Structure 1
Amino acid sequence: MQLKSFDKIYQIRKRSRVKRWFLFILLAGIVTLFLPWTQNIKVKGNVSSLYQSQRPQQLNSPIPGRIIKWNVKNGDYVSKGDTLLQLSEIKEDYMDPLLVQRTEEQVDAKIGVREFYKAKVGTAKNQLEALNAARELKLNQIKIKISQLNNKLVGEEAELSAAVNELKLSEDQFARQKKMYDEGLVSLTQFQQRSISYQNSIAKKTAYENKVSQTKQEIINTQIEQNAVTQDYNEKLSKIEGERFQSMGQIEGSDGDIAKLQNQVANYKARQGLYFIIASQDGQIVQLNKAGIGEVLKDGENIGTIVPTKVDYAVEIYVRPVDLPLIKEGQRVMCIFDGFPAIVFSGWPDSSYGVFTGKVIAVESNISPNGLFKALVVEDKNEKRWPTKIKMGTGTQGIAILNDVPIWYELWRNINGFPPDYYEVSNTKSTKDEKGK
């Protein structure tokens, strides 16, 4: 009698299916080896912004001052131009409440001084014109006098020439008269009369010579007077001209002082506007590090941070130098953001869940302090949109997509330690542009 329990327990007569399963697994393994596998590079990074103006901005004190009023607290959202806090002055040079008004009064005073010197310059100019006119008149008078003396000299020289001729004639007559007197032909009375006539001619000639000499001396004296008048007027003109130039220098100096004071007025007005620290853009106030009223701020001291509300997000990823040749502009990168659940199949990124697609737009040529090269990844508008809840600084894991290869090739590559295959991203637009050129 055969027991059914014996057959069910020991299964001696049961046909083995191990061979069938072995062949099935072997076939499945061979088929799996020919399935496609996407090569990739795993990188890490964090969320940032595409533009510098959209990154968190420090709030700094533009001037040293004391806090007298807070208008915000941590976490508040503000609009561009909102007043965040108010400062008061701590420097003694700026504590005068009427500082701008007093400085403007100094400007007005300097302007008055400048106008005074301008009037003085105008007066000096009139004096110069008057002196020049008086000099010309005086010199013309002297020239006329010299001309008259020259005419007088010509007449006296003519009279002197006539007296000389008359003296020669009288001298000849005197000589003949003396000879005749010596011979007894004429009387002593006649000889004495001729002698008197000869002496008169000599005296007349001497008188005319004295007149000519006196006239020449008058001409010389008049010429000396002319030089003296010229010198005197030149000294007066030089003095007034010097005063005029001095006044013009004072005007230029006043212009410089006025410009300096006006610059101070503008600086004081601008400084008064710096007592109120305003928001440079729309955003959220965070990391305020000053406790309250009365604290003193230094020039340029950090007060807190404003995080912009409108941000074009980007991801900064850091690539090892050995992987740098595999990263190109336009490279596809799958991003996994911290805080957002994801199921990742590294060899089949399109089958992953919770990942977001981006593309590389820039790769820095200089190595970062952490020994890695930084690349910038932005959202791919043609793929699934990035979540709106991501924040600046959020940690990110990236998978840079490379080439599609069979699984057997990937296993063979890893066993031999070969680098991944990479491809060049073709830029269709650039190619068309180049052909057009």
Structure 2
Amino acid sequence: MLNVSNNNRINSEKLEKFSTIQKLYKTNHYKVLNKILLAFIVVVILFLFLPWTQNISGSGAVTTLKPDQRPQTIQSLISGRIEKWYVNEGDYVEEGDTILFISEIKEDYLDPNLVENTKNQMLAKENAVNSYEGKVTALGSQMNAINNERDLKSKQAKNKIRQTLLKIKSDSMDLEAIKTQIKIANTQFKRSVQLNKEGLKPLTDVEEKRLKLQEIEAKLITQENKLLSSENELINARVEISRINAEYSEKLSKAQSDQYTAESSKYDTKAQVNKLQNQYNNYKIRNGMYYIKAPQSGYVNRALKSGIGENIKEGTPIVSIMPAQYDIAVETFISPNDFPLIQKGEKVRVWFDGWPTIVFSGWPDLSYGTFGGRVVAIENFISENGKYRVLIAPDPKEQKWPKQLSIGSGAQTMALLDNVPIWFEIWRTLNGFPPNYYKSDKEKKKDDVEK
């Protein structure tokens, strides 16, 4: 631009007469700025070396430590119709208190005397079992009597055989004696005939010898008949033994068959008794199910079924109960990336919805409104929300958790890991590395000993 005119020219000489301009010319502003920048850099460097507690954050809800202390629903084990309610929502009930009464709707159980009738049937069948047992015992006694009688008859027949054998032996000896007598009589007769021919014996003597020989021969025939009769008696005695064995075997078989039939009927009746007893117990237990009772002490949260005369099926939830005594805990969910870093017994900081809190994730000691806890259970299977469930219980060494906490309220958790400098945490975050795996003092000492 040409300086054609002097109107736009700044007259610096006129500005120097002001005191402010003079001070600005004399002061070195860059020195102050350098000092400020240097102090800021020093502070930032020192800040980078401050300790930072690595942590894993999670969110969940307040629950109970034991499964039997959590809210539960009471179901009806049988189908029925609601007849009467004994409690209201919010009431406190003791274990065993009646909540409501239902009536029967199935036609198989409508008989009011069903249990008593089933019991009478069972008693009748039990008496039948006793009768069959008596019949089995009587048949057993009859079989013993048949065996005893058979033994006696057999002994009698055997004695008859022995007597017949002795008689046969005696008749045989008599027969041999008669044969000897015949030989002697025949010799005497021949001698008498020879002497008669020689004239030494008279004819009468010969006749006497002949007569004696004929008498002895007649005795021989009689004795042979007697021997044959004795042998026939022996055969008859042996046949009698066979007849006795056959007769009493038939009687014994018939009695034994009757005994087996009675035992079979007894076992069949016993099976019917067991079946009736099972039905009787089932009916008796079913009658007790008409009154739905509280399984444990607690508060009735909500009636899931209402009204009078409403039909319900078996397994239908009726009311929800919250146990009166419970150990509080927190269930939180962490991402799969952080799951390998969590271990049982690890310290966790917890803060609850509705409670004033000031949380510094890197400096848990400076946080306000947080409570201490420890990991007591880790679920190894991923949940439906794509995260892993971790159960946290209060740390007995830390401040007690508030008594006013209600089951189901929200909670935030922060699992404490290793202590590292801030610069390392920034470097780890920028590179996307996971936090350091935390090791307790015992594990560190063990590793040092192994090294």
Q: Specify the TM-score bucket, using the shorter chain as the normaliser.
A: 0.7 to 0.9
Residue in structure 2 matching 1:227, options 242, 259, 276: 242
Distance 1:39 1:158, change over 3 A: closer
- Pairing 1:165–2:180 present: yes
- Pairing 1:263–2:273 present: no
> Which amino acid is 2:221 matched to?
T
For the residue of structure 1 that corresponds to 2:52, the secondary structure is strand
Tell me what 2:87 maps to.
72
- Pairing 1:41–2:50 present: no
Aligned residues: 430
- Pairing 1:103–2:91 present: no
Distance 2:156 2:41 in 1: 138
- Pairing 1:421–2:451 present: no
Instruction: Report matched runs for 1:353-392 at 5 Å.
Output: 353-392=368-407
Distance 1:5 1:312, change over 3 A: farther
Deviations 1:31-70 (A, max 9, x none): 3333332222221222222111111222111122222222
> Which amino acid is 2:316 matched to?
E
Aligned partners of 1:7 and 1:13 also within 8 Å: no
Distance 2:159 2:416 in 1: 111
Distance 1:27 1:151 in 2: 143
CA displacement at 1:253 relative to structure 2: 3.6
CA displacement at 1:184 relative to structure 2: 9.9
Residue in structure 2 matching 1:300, options 312, 315, 332: 315
Distance 2:415 2:151 in 1: 98
Instruction: Report matched runs for 1:177-188 at 5 Å.
Output: none
Aligned partners of 2:304 and 2:320 also within 8 Å: no
Q: Normalized against structure 1, the TM-score is what? A: 0.85
Q: CA RMSD in A?
A: 3.4
> Which amino acid is 2:276 matched to?
L
Instruction: Report matched runs for 1:29-428 at 5 Å.
Output: 29-173=44-188, 195-426=210-441
Distance 1:137 1:359, change over 3 A: closer
Distance 1:5 1:281 in 2: 93
Aligned partners of 1:66 and 1:295 also within 8 Å: yes
Distance 2:241 2:435 in 1: 109
Tell me what 2:7 maps to.
none
Distance 1:307 1:281 in 2: 9
Distance 1:315 1:233, change over 3 A: same
> Which amino acid is 1:226 matched to?
I
Distance 2:283 2:405 in 1: 44
CA displacement at 1:248 relative to structure 2: 3.5
CA displacement at 1:13 relative to structure 2: 7.8
Distance 1:422 1:147, change over 3 A: closer
Aligned partners of 2:346 and 2:375 also within 8 Å: yes
CA displacement at 1:192 relative to structure 2: 6.4
190-199 or 59-68, larger mean C-alpha shift: 190-199
For the residue of structure 2 that corresponds to 1:317, the secondary structure is strand
Distance 1:134 1:40, change over 3 A: closer
Aligned partners of 1:47 and 1:392 also within 8 Å: yes
For the residue of structure 1 that corresponds to 2:381, the secondary structure is strand
For the residue of structure 1 that corresponds to 2:150, the secondary structure is helix
Identity between Structure 1 and Structure 2 (%): 41
Which runs of 5 or more structure 2 residues have no equivalent in the other structure? 1-13
80-89 or 18-27, larger mean C-alpha shift: 18-27
Deviations 1:176-230 (A, max 9, x none): 6677889999898876665554444333211211110011101211221122123
Deviations 1:148-178 (A, max 9, x none): 3333323322221122122223444555667
Aligned partners of 2:334 and 2:389 also within 8 Å: yes
117-126 or 378-387, larger mean C-alpha shift: 117-126
For the residue of structure 1 that corresponds to 2:368, the secondary structure is coil
Which runs of 5 or more structure 1 residues have no equivalent in the other structure? none
For the residue of structure 2 that corresponds to 1:90, the secondary structure is coil
> Which amino acid is 2:384 matched to?
P
Aligned partners of 1:357 and 1:379 also within 8 Å: yes
CA displacement at 1:14 relative to structure 2: 7.8
Aligned partners of 1:328 and 1:425 also within 8 Å: no
Distance 1:172 1:294, change over 3 A: same
> Which amino acid is 1:219 matched to?
L
Deviations 1:234-286 (A, max 9, x none): 32233223323433443344433333322322222222111111111122223
> Which amino acid is 1:240 matched to?
A
For the residue of structure 1 that corresponds to 2:379, the secondary structure is strand
> Which amino acid is 2:283 matched to?
Y
